[in-house]
Amino acid sequence: MSGFLKSSIGRKVAMALSAFFLMFFLLQHFAINILSVINPDVFNEVSHFMGTNPFVQFALQPVLIFGVVFHFVMGFVLELKNKKANGVKYAKNNGAANSSWMSRNMIWSGLAILAFVVLHFIDFWFPEINTKFIQGDWSGMHEGVEGYRYFHELQEKFLSPVRVGAYVLAFVFLALHLLHGFTSAFQSMGATSGRKKTLQNIGKAYSIIIPLGFIFIALYHHLNH
Amino acid sequence: MNLTLKIWRQKDANDKGRMVDYKVTDISEHMSFLEMMDVLNEQLVDSGDEPVAFDHDCREGICGMCSMYINGEAHGPDRGITTCQLHMRMFKDGDTITIEPFRAAAFPVIKDLVVDRTAFERIQQAGGYISVNTSGNTQDANSIPISKHAADEAMDAATCIGCGACVATCKNSSAMLFVGAKVSQYALLPQGQVEAVDRVQNMVAQMDLEGFGNCTNTGACEIECPKGISLENIARMNRELMKASLK
Amino acid sequence: MALDSKVPKGPIKDKWTDYKNNIDLVNPANKRHIDVIVVGTGLAGGSAAATLAELGYNVKAFAYQDSPRRAHSIAAQGGINAAKNYQGDGDSTYRLFYDTVKGGDYRSREANVYRLAEVSTNIIDQCVAQGVPFARDYGGLLDNRSFGGVLVSRTFYAKGQTGQQLLLGAYSAMNRQIARGKIEMFNRHEMLDVVKVDGKARGIIARNLITGEIERHSAHAVVIASGGYGNVYFLSTNAMGSNATAAWKIHKKGAHFANPCYTQIHPTCIPRSGDYQSKLTLMSESLRNDGRIWVPKHIEDVQAIREGRKKPTDLSEDERDYYLERRYPAFGNLVPRDVASRAAKERCDAGYGVNATGEAVYLDFASAIQRYGKEQAKIHNLTDASEAKIYELGQGIVEAKYGNLFQMYEKIVDQNPYKTPMMIYPAVHYTMGGVWVDYNLMTSVDGLYCIGEANFSDHGANRLGASALMQGLADGYFVLPYTIGDYLSDDIRTGKISTETKEFEEAEKEVTDRINFFVNNNGSKSVDYFHKKLGNVMWNKVGMSRNADGLKEAMSEIKAIREEFWKEVKVPGVANEMNPELEKAGRVADFLELGELFAKDALMREESCGGHFREESVELDGEQKGEAKRNDKDYAFVAAWEYKGEPADAVLHKEELEFIDIELKQRSYK
């Protein structure tokens, strides 16, 4: 088993498993965020639950962080190893002839997403940690805001057109990343070709609908404030 | 037609190597690509220069010896063929054609366009066989029925000619299509089951040791493969390795 | 010196069994102390190397390619014969034996062929056990097809890549032994001479093709499995590197060379398109099962087609000459290879060749597509199917049967063979002649063996389809491992053979001197120039049909080319590097000698048999008028030539062929 984890294929599988986890996380994140468009109150309720439930905070959150960090670190490790396997560079290489742009540039779309994650942490996650763990305020309330503060904070953030622009751009990269990543993860896990067509279609749908949904949420709040 | 060729020249493994320009004239569109190279070499010999060394042998697409990276693609712009089956009608008069060796850290250049692909040999030696002696006293061939479907699929995997186009094409220089095809052939046949666990583990371990990169499922190998070996073989190898690890 | 074939006594069906029961064996503990060199790693060499290593010998195997898997056995398409009788259609060891001897036009050694037929069934068992993915039927059992006009279905196949799959099987067996350290593999090495010590073969001199280094390798026995010499014609279906150097070098060191004139010219190859052509591509003979061969009846139509004014499809049935069906109504398009090839040449020589070079005939699938289409329409209950629908259905069947060949043709010729007839022309394909060996597969030099296409033994004057693979594997897997043991049992106390002896030194010096000559010779013409010139003479005067005058001219012309070669050849580069031109120079030098012996042998054999057709020896009247005439009274022998310096001075030794179990008959396909 330890041999498996050290093997190239083992790492591929680990990469795919962390991807599955992140794709599932993305789905639930989207499900909660879209509530902010449908019903701000429900959004606040759910956000408060997620933000204060000990199981979510102390069990799921570390797993998530680990998943994110693992996926990034492993991605870089594999990229470096693969670069090393290349030898001398071709004088002329026509990658477009046999593969998609997305599949050849996962590292770049991944880096763009990483940059976004940093921004996202600065925007939401660090203030949350600060409020809850440093100041010890688990109330979910904020001065001058009626009810829970989450919806209000969300709207505040989407005031700036620059931030919304960055947000939109990041999700375009996420879509590109997913367009290859979704089916690639299944292929790494050994999905059989019989299911390939269905998987590809689900993958395409997922990779376009989810990021588009996030973009919609951002634009909606930017325009409806 | 008249062509400009940009060709990688490298005296031996220690030489740094460089691209050199050549001109060839009066090339017939019915020539094969290697016959065009023959014309160039004849020209070089006549003028007292050293001809370009390149691997080739059967010139009918089955030995797997020829291995040129032409205009940025393994075996050139056509599909489902090796370099020797590429014909000059794929090019136009006045074209500039870039010709390079198959590149990968695990495929060091020996001379000009000739590369060392013995890494493939060592991977096969690590487990690409069924351990049966040639006594002539094995059981009757028909005592092991194999479904037509499995036999055909094993055959599809077994048609790999070991040319290395998959590695040369892959942005990660991964050999997984080659290894996957070999693992698949035996995984699909009952004769191969006895050693299945050791085979996949040993072959993958050797593949990693040789310094090939990791598969990121770009699918480029499948497109450039002269024999149309399917990506399914990589997925099957992954399954085989996972299964083997759980045993 | 009289040739002793060493065929065991007794009834033919017991010879091999009795032989195996009575030979000396080598104790497993002693095999470890015995080294065997195998030169060439195709079906014969690869299977021999693997088996000898399994038995416990230390094997050193040599291949000029970068892997044993690239040997030209890999290009065989059709299949492999075996007398399994899985189809229950009356096949048997005797019938396979009979067909092989008859197909070889009664010029092969009965005992060898019977043994071949006997072990043929083991080959299939062995290959299946190794994981060779032979074609199967829906019940999961092995499928067979009929091949080369024989009356039973005994050919096993793996799509159109049987040679590839069998070679990969042997290669995998080799890999297992390489991993165990029992085979030491020398890729990119070329044998340049054999070393004899006290009259026995004890080693070879080889060149490392990457570094140019000359190496000495010793062993207790040497096995040559280096394939045929078809490239003496320059253009053939052989691989570019296929060469006769190993076989020719051992000939020069005392191994007799037998029947060099027996060459198989395969009828269904893609025609030459111009002078730049480097090799010819074969398409499986199975195409003749459904394709009809023709040329235009009228010379005006030939002109019109060549000039592009007419298309072959414009010609009505009346304007076509289906010459095989006309001449051989019984067998039609399925006549044996030699007959089909000569008939094509006859038409083209008469001016009816249909492409620009005048060397092509049509192979037409239109009627097969029609026939299959109508059949399919019936099966699918389409009573009023349109012409187009019938065509589409028929094309589907033809595609399923020959799709990969059609695709290959289209890639090379750039014409769609579903729409317009294919063009084909015969090309040199296989050489039945080769190094003379006895029943043990040993040459006339002790401890020096020769197997596979490189030897002469099993195919007589003409080889049946799907028999080359059978012979290669039979020799390597099941014959040589026994016979070599009998010889090596005397060597268990010999100990390691030293390479620091004067015999090795002399052989090495000879090799080095020749290489130095090439790289230092200040010539003006490339190696290919001479090779093409030789090929031209061979094809025109020692090709599909031969006559005494032409053969005499050929001998003197080849001699002249050889003399010019040694003056004018130009080899760029140096000796101690990878130097493909230098490799070619050595090979062509040997072809230039072999070609002359080839013509001499053809001149000596004043009869027509199998692949050797003498214009002077034809039936003069009756139904067979104009057909090949064999002369069993005077020529039922193997011509084994002993080297005496110049090829023209070679001395003929005759091994008379006895036919006890088969009655000699004239072949008839009318």
Read off the pLDDT of each residue in C482-509 and give the average, rounded to a whole number: 96
| Residue C1 confidence (pLDDT) | 58
As a whole number of Å, the CA-based R_g of chain B is: 20
Give the whole-angstrom CA distance, residue A32 versus residue C91: 75
Tokens 């009259």, located at residue? C199
pLDDT at A144 over 80: no
Query: Cβ(C128)–Cβ(C657) under 8 Å?
Result: no
Q: Name the minimum distance, in Å, from the CA of B137 to any CA of chain A.
A: 37
Best probe of the C interface among B29, B115, B129, B132, by most C CBs < 10 A, is B129
For C422, list phi and psi in degrees, rounded to 5.
-70, 155
B216 and chain C in contact, CB less than 8 A: no
C233 closest CA partner among C554, C604, C638, C632: C554
Best probe of the B interface among C54, C240, C484, C519, by most B CBs < 10 A, is C240
- Write the residue in C66, C72, C573 that is nearest to B118 by C-beta: C66
Q: What is the mean pLDDT of chain C?
A: 95
- Write the residue in A89, A98, A190 that is nearest to B242 by C-beta: A190
If residue A68 lies in a helix (H) or strand (E), which one and from where to where?
A: helix A61-84
Is the pTM higher than 0.90? The answer reads yes
Q: Name the minimum distance, in Å, from the CA of B19 to any CA of chain C.
A: 19
> C62 has which bridge partners?
C39, C186
A59 and chain B in contact, CB less than 8 A: no
- Write the residue in C65, C141, C412 that is nearest to B65 by C-beta: C65
Neighbours of chain A (3+ CB pairs under 8 A): B
HSE-CB at C51 with a 13 A cutoff on CA atoms is 28
Query: With bands split at pLDDT 50, 70 and 90, how would you rate the model's confidence at C443?
Result: very high
Which overall architecture, per CATH, does domain A2-82+103-223 show? Up-down Bundle (1.20)
pLDDT digits 0-9 by tens, C214-248: 999 999 999 999 999 999 999 999 999 999 999 99
Where in chain C are the domains? 272-426, 514-635
Query: With bands split at pLDDT 50, 70 and 90, how would you rate the model's confidence at C550?
Result: very high
Query: With bands split at pLDDT 50, 70 and 90, how would you rate the model's confidence at C622?
Result: confident
3-state secondary structure string, A85-134? CCCCCCCCCCHHHCCCHHHHCHHHHHHHHHHHHHHHHHHHHHHHHHHHHH
Residues near C645 by beta carbon (within 8 Å), at least 6 away in sequence: none
Read off the pLDDT of each residue in C190-213 and give the average, rounded to a whole number: 98
Give the whole-angstrom CA distance, residue B186 versus residue B193: 7
**Chain A residues with beta carbon closer than 8 angstroms to that of B232:** 192-193
Q: How many CB atoms lie within 10 A of CB A193?
A: 14
Neighbours of chain C (3+ CB pairs under 8 A): B
Q: How many residues does chain C have?
A: 670
Query: With bands split at pLDDT 50, 70 and 90, how would you rate the model's confidence at C293?
Result: very high
C42 closest CA partner among C234, C232, C238: C238
Whether chain C lies against chain A with 3 or more Cβ pairs closer than 8 A is no
Query: With bands split at pLDDT 50, 70 and 90, how would you rate the model's confidence at C655?
Result: very high
> C223 has which bridge partners?
C38, C449
Domains and CATH numbers, chain B: 3-111 (3.10.20.30), 117-133+143-246 (1.10.1060.10)
Q: Name the minimum distance, in Å, from the CA of B60 to any CA of chain C.
A: 6
pLDDT at B32 over 80: yes
Q: Which two tokens stand for residue A63?
A: 């797993």
A95 and chain B in contact, CB less than 8 A: yes
| Residue A194 confidence (pLDDT) | 63
Query: Cβ(C107)–Cβ(C262) under 8 Å?
Result: yes
Residues near C605 by beta carbon (within 8 Å), at least 6 away in sequence: C261, C612, C614, C635, C639
The answer to whether the Cβ–Cβ distance between B105 and A92 falls below 8 Å is no
**Chain B residues with beta carbon closer than 8 angstroms to that of A82:** 171-174, 213-214, 216
Q: Which two tokens stand for residue C412?
A: 């090379």
**What percentage of chain B carries pLDDT values higher than 70?**
100
The answer to whether the Cβ–Cβ distance between B87 and C411 falls below 8 Å is yes
**Chain B residues with beta carbon closer than 8 angstroms to that of C279:** 59-60
Give the whole-angstrom CA distance, residue C199 versus residue C178: 31
Give the whole-angstrom CA distance, residue C511 versus residue C525: 22
Give the whole-angstrom CA distance, residue C552 versus residue C604: 10
The answer to whether the Cβ–Cβ distance between C130 and B129 falls below 8 Å is yes
**Chain C residues with beta carbon closer than 8 angstroms to that of B12:** 577-578
Could you give the ipTM of this predicted complex? 0.97
Residues near C230 by beta carbon (within 8 Å), at least 6 away in sequence: C236, C237, C238, C242, C263, C428, C429, C430, C431
The answer to whether the Cβ–Cβ distance between B214 and A180 falls below 8 Å is no
Query: Cβ(C612)–Cβ(B91) under 8 Å?
Result: no
Q: Which chain B residue has its CA at the smallest distance from C42's CA?
A: B63
**Chain B residues with beta carbon closer than 8 angstroms to that of A110:** none
Is residue C337 annotated as part of the catalytic site, yes or no? yes
DSSP states along C362-406: EEE-HHHHHHHHHHHHHHTT-TT--HHHHHHHHHHHHHHHHHHHH
Q: Any idea which fold C514-635 has?
A: Methane Monooxygenase Hydroxylase; Chain G, domain 1 (1.20.58)
The answer to whether the Cβ–Cβ distance between B213 and A81 falls below 8 Å is yes
Hey, is B124 helix, strand or coil?
A: helix
Neighbours of chain B (3+ CB pairs under 8 A): A, C
Q: What is the mean pLDDT of chain B?
A: 96
If residue C219 lies in a helix (H) or strand (E), which one and from where to where?
A: none
Query: Cβ(C447)–Cβ(C222) under 8 Å?
Result: yes
Q: What is the DSSP letter of C50?
A: H
The answer to whether the Cβ–Cβ distance between B64 and C72 falls below 8 Å is no
Interfacial A residues in 6-25 facing B (CB < 8 Å): 7-13
Read off the pLDDT of each residue in C423-430 and give the average, rounded to a whole number: 96
B81 and chain C in contact, CB less than 8 A: yes
Q: Which amino acid is at C39?
A: V
Interfacial B residues in 124-183 facing C (CB < 8 Å): 124-126, 128-134, 136-142, 144-148, 151-152, 154-155, 158-159, 161-162
> C182 has which bridge partners?
none
pLDDT digits 0-9 by tens, C9-53: 999 999 999 999 999 999 999 999 999 999 999 999 999 999 999
Q: Which amino acid is at C310?
A: K
The answer to whether the Cβ–Cβ distance between B57 and C50 falls below 8 Å is no
| Residue A137 confidence (pLDDT) | 85
Which entry of C95, C154, C272, C337 is annotated as an active-site residue?
C337
Q: How many CB atoms lie within 10 A of CB C204?
A: 28
B65-69, C399-403, C473-477, C666-670: least confident range: C666-670
Read off the pLDDT of each residue in A29-50 and give the average, rounded to a whole number: 94
B14 and chain C in contact, CB less than 8 A: no
Hey, is B120 helix, strand or coil?
A: helix
Q: What is the mean pLDDT of chain A?
A: 92
- Write the residue in A7, A90, A187 that is nearest to B205 by C-beta: A7
| Residue C257 confidence (pLDDT) | 98
> C653 has which bridge partners?
C640
The answer to whether the Cβ–Cβ distance between B39 and C577 falls below 8 Å is no
Where in chain A are the domains? 2-82+103-223
pLDDT at C472 over 90: yes
Query: With bands split at pLDDT 50, 70 and 90, how would you rate the model's confidence at C519?
Result: very high
Best probe of the B interface among A1, A4, A6, A8, by most B CBs < 10 A, is A8
